[in-house]
Chains A and B, each alone.
Chain A
Amino acid sequence: MTTTEPSSALLQVRDLRTTFDTPRGTVVAVDGVSLDVDRGETVGIVGESGSGKTVLSRSALGLVTARHATVTGSVRLEGEELVGRGPKEMREIWGVRAAMVFQDPMTALNATMRVGDQITESLRHHLDMGRREARATAVALLRSVGIPEPERRIRAYPHQLSGGMRQRVTIAIALACGPRLLVADEPTTALDVTVQKQILDLLDHQRRERAMGMVLITHDLGVVAGRTDRVAVMYAGRIVEHGPTRALFHERRHHYTDGLLRCIPRLSNPGHTRLQVVPGRPPDLVDLPPGCPFAPRCPAAQDRCREETPTLTDVGGGHQHACFFPVGTPEGEEALARNRSQDGTNRTTEVAV
Chain B
Amino acid sequence: MPLLLRRAVALVVTLLVVSFLTFCLTSLLPGDPAVQILGPEAATEENVAAVREELRLDDPLLTRYVHWLGDAVTGDLGRSYRTNQPVGEAIAERLPVTLEIGLLALVIALAVAIPLGTLSAFQAGGLLDRVITSTTFGVLAVPSFMMAILLILVFAETLQWLPATGWTRLTEDPVENLRGALLPALSLAMGELAVYTRLLRSDMITTLQQDSITMARAKGLPTRRILFRHALRPSSFSLMTVVGVQIGTIVGGAVIVETLFAVPGVGRLLVDSISQRDLMMVQGVALVIAASVVVVNFTVDLLYSLLDPRIRHGRAATA
Contacts and interface: CB of A to CB of B under 8 A. Distances in A.
Interface of A: 58, 61, 63, 65, 67, 87, 90-96, 99-100, 102-104, 106-113, 121-122, 125-126, 157-160, 170, 173-174, 176-177
B220 A95 contact: yes
A170 B212 contact: no
Which 8 pairs from chain A and chain B are nearest by CB? A159-B317, A94-B220, A95-B220, A95-B219, A107-B211, A157-B309, A108-B211, A100-B218
A63 to B, nearest CB: 6
Given A100-B215, A159-B310, A91 B222 contact: yes
Contacts of A159: 309-310, 313, 316-317, 319
A111 B212 contact: yes
A111 B230 contact: no
16 contacts: A63-B218, A67-B125, A92-B220, A95-B219, A95-B220, A96-B220, A100-B215, A100-B218, A107-B210, A109-B215, A112-B307, A113-B230, A157-B313, A159-B317, A170-B215, A173-B219
A104 B221 contact: no
Nearest to B125: A67
Contacts of B124: 67
B211 A91 contact: no
A112 B233 contact: yes
Interface of B: 124-126, 210-212, 214-223, 225, 229-230, 233-234, 307-310, 313, 316-319
Nearest to A183: B218
A174 B215 CA distance: 9
B47 to A, nearest CB: 66
A68 to B, nearest CB: 9
B211 A111 contact: no
B205 to A, nearest CB: 11
A102 B214 contact: yes
Contact of B212 (A67, A110, A122, A126): A110
Contact of A102 (B211, B234, B317): B211
A109 B212 contact: yes
A102 B215 contact: yes
Nearest to A110: B212
A227 B217 CA distance: 28
Nearest to A87: B223
Contacts of B126: 67
Given A67-B125, A106-B317, A94 B230 contact: no
Nearest to B317: A159
A121 B221 contact: yes
Contacts of B211: 102-104, 107-108
Nearest to B214: A63
Given A104-B211, A110-B230, A112-B234, A99 B218 contact: yes
A157 B217 CA distance: 20
A162 to B, nearest CB: 9
Nearest to A125: B221
B215 A108 contact: yes
Given A106-B318, A157-B309, A159-B313, A111 B234 contact: yes
A122 B229 CA distance: 13
A122 B219 contact: yes
A295 B125 CA distance: 39
Contacts of B225: 121, 125
Contacts of A96: 220
Given A159-B317, A160-B313, A108 B221 contact: no
Contacts of A99: 218-219
Most A Cβ at <10 Å: residue of B210, B216, B233, B313: B216
Nearest to A162: B317
A108 B215 CA distance: 6
A158 B212 CA distance: 12
Nearest to B209: A66
B210 A94 contact: no
B278 to A, nearest CB: 49
A112 B309 contact: yes
Contacts of A122: 219-221
Nearest to B234: A112
Contacts of A176: 219
A288 B141 CA distance: 48
A111 B219 contact: no
A125 B218 CA distance: 13
A96 B218 CA distance: 9
Given A94-B219, A125-B222, A125-B225, 9 more contacts: A63-B214, A90-B220, A95-B218, A102-B215, A103-B211, A121-B219, A122-B219, A125-B219, A125-B221
A119 to B, nearest CB: 10
A109 B313 CA distance: 17
B271 to A, nearest CB: 43
Most B Cβ at <10 Å: residue of A106, A110, A122: A110
Contacts of A112: 233-234, 307-309
Nearest to A97: B220
Nearest to B236: A112
Contacts of A110: 212, 215-216, 230, 234
B218 A61 contact: yes
B310 A111 contact: yes
A113 B210 CA distance: 15
Contacts of B229: 113, 121
A96 B125 CA distance: 31
Most A Cβ at <10 Å: residue of B222, B230, B234, B317: B317
A174 B214 CA distance: 13
Nearest to B312: A157
A104 B215 CA distance: 11
Nearest to A67: B125
Most B Cβ at <10 Å: residue of A63, A104, A113, A174: A113
Given A63-B217, A159-B310, A108 B212 contact: yes
A37 to B, nearest CB: 17
Contacts of A109: 212, 215
Most A Cβ at <10 Å: residue of B125, B219, B318: B219
Given A102-B211, A106-B318, A111 B309 contact: yes
Contacts of B230: 110, 113
Nearest to A114: B309
